[in-house]
Amino acid sequence: MAVLHYRGKRHAPRLAQGSGVAALSESFAAILEHAEALMRASIQQVPDGIYEGEDVSNNDCFSQVDVPVRVKVTIEDGAMTVDFAGSAPQIKGFKNSSLANTYSAVYVALLAFFDSSLPKNAGAFRPIRIIAPEGTVVNARPPAPMTYNTVYPATEIVYAIWKALGKANPVRACAGWGKASHCVSSGPRGDGATYVMYHMHAYPGSGAVFGRDGFNTLGTVITLGGMSLPNVEAYEKKYPVQVIRQEFRVDGAGAGQFRGGTGIDYEVLMHAAGEVCLRGEGLYTASGFGVAGGHDGAPSTLEVRDLDGELIETPQYGVQQLPPCRISIASSGGGGWGVPTSREQELVERDLRDGVISNEAARQVYGFIA
């Protein structure tokens, strides 16, 4: 078979003309077959069997109610079936998944769990069979809203699979990244235009894996860290906001031999009245789950007060008109990997020195002896 070297889109017609369509097609087929072989080899590293996992959202956008995503992963002869039977019925909120989104989330979960060098193409997914019953939160039917599905329930899909496969191969188990609680402020500028400000300075902490602590703050798991913190000074120049506090949380991280990311303590003054869109997925319950004996990360909190200090009641999800106010967010911590007392004492001492764990946690959770 001829080996064709591809140098970008503008060279493709020339490549086809020079080598012939048949040779080009043969090369593409070989690329996909190679990816399939590598994925099958990765799956074969997991013992044949049936592994189950579940992750739960604690709301349907309107009220606090459990919305579980359940998965049964069957491994057999280098192939995998991912079955979501038993997942929650589709909900009235906008966190329902289309079938295409569910497939994408499954592929993200698997490519993150297995070796990062796996090719990212259709060949790698040939050994994967996905079952997503219609009318459920992972395969909703009209008129179910789906606006937020690339984030939720995509996150629950990823986590359910990680939990299932983590039982089969704890060394490769991925702890949960904290789910995101944040808001979006908008309102009129002095020139009559409208500003839209995302409070993304309060990203959650990511989960730990064997050999590495979670990042203290990072974009949500569905981006696999592909988003970073905005610049505070640029925000203060562009929007009617003053950032009072932005620092790593103390004891927010899930403890472990490798601890989770801490999350962020974030506090701002909004100097102008405006509209706020609240998205509180990480509130109330821990979402950064621990694995292999690691602890869960702390849940997030979100609080709004007027400039006199009076608490303003806000929904977990919703849109609300607010006066000039103070917004405080403690973002979710990531989960830990491994038993906390197995953590190297030098690392515990470093975390103490950095102020991301308390003296009490160092003694009681990590068994640190000064």
| Domain shared by 50 and 30, yes or no | no
Angle 281-336-38 (CA atoms, 0-180°, nearest 5)? Answer: 90
Same domain, 235 and 116: no
With a CB cutoff of 8 Å and minimum separation 6, the contacts of 7 are none
Domain co-membership, 154 together with 178: no
pLDDT at residue number 12: 59
Contact 38, 32 (CB under 8 A): no
Residues 183 and 76 in one domain: no
Are 161 and 182 within one domain? Answer: no
Q: How far apart are the first and last CA of the chain?
A: 65
Residue among 160, 170, 163, 131 nearest 47 (CA): 170
Alpha carbon distance 358, 347 (integer Å):
13
Whether residue 313 is contained in a domain is answered as yes
41, part of any domain: no
Same domain? 15 vs 152 = no
The span from the CA of 89 to the CA of 105, in Å, is 18
- Are 212 and 149 part of one and the same domain? no
Q: Could you tell me how far CA 361 lies from the centroid of its own chain?
A: 26
Q: Are 247 and 289 in contact (CB under 8 A)?
A: no
Return the structure tokens found at 62: 């309107």
The pLDDT tens digits of the residues spanning 201-216 come to 999 999 999 999 999 9
C-beta of residue 93 within 8 angstroms of C-beta of residue 110: no
Looking at residue 15, what is its pLDDT?
65
> Cβ distance 198 to 174 under 8 Å?
no
Query: Where does 122-234 show beta strands of DSSP type E?
Result: 128-131, 181-188, 194-198
Same domain flag for 206 and 74: no
Q: Which two tokens stand for residue 306?
A: 């007027």
3 domain residue, yes or no: no
Both tokens assigned to 112 = 């993150």
d(CA 310, CA 288): 31
Q: Is residue 101 part of a domain?
A: yes
| Whether 138 contacts 222, CB under 8 Å | no
Residues 150, 197 within the same domain:
no
Residue 189 is predicted with a pLDDT of: 86
- 294 with 319, same domain: the answer is yes
pLDDT of residue 23: 81
Report yes or no on 218 lying in a domain: yes
Q: Of 171, 200, 232, which residue is a domain's last?
A: 171
What's the pLDDT at 1? Answer: 41
- Structurally, how many domains does the chain consist of? 3
Domain end (from 149, 171, 193): 171
Q: Do residues 196 and 305 share a domain?
A: yes
CA 76 from centroid of its chain's CA atoms:
28
If one counts every other C-beta atom within 10 angstroms of the C-beta of residue 353, the result is: 9
Give the Cβ contact number of residue 244 at 10 Å: 12
In a domain, 315, yes or no: yes
Pair of tokens at residue 178:
């904290």
Which residue range is the domain that position 273 belongs to? 174-370
251, part of any domain: yes
Q: How far is CA 168 from CA 51, 95, 110, 129, 350, in A?
A: 7, 29, 13, 18, 33
Asked which of 153, 171, 189 is the last residue of a domain, the reply is 171
**How many Å separate Cα 100 from the centre of its chain?**
18
213 and 163 assigned to the same domain: no
Per the structure block, which two tokens stand in for 107?
């592929």
pLDDT at 10: 53
Quickly count: other Cβ atoms within 10 Å of residue 11's Cβ. 12
Which segments in the chain show pLDDT lower than 50?
Answer: 1-7, 9
Task: Look at residue 274 and tell me if it is in a domain.
Answer: yes
Q: Is 19 helix (H, G, I), strand (E, B) or coil?
A: helix
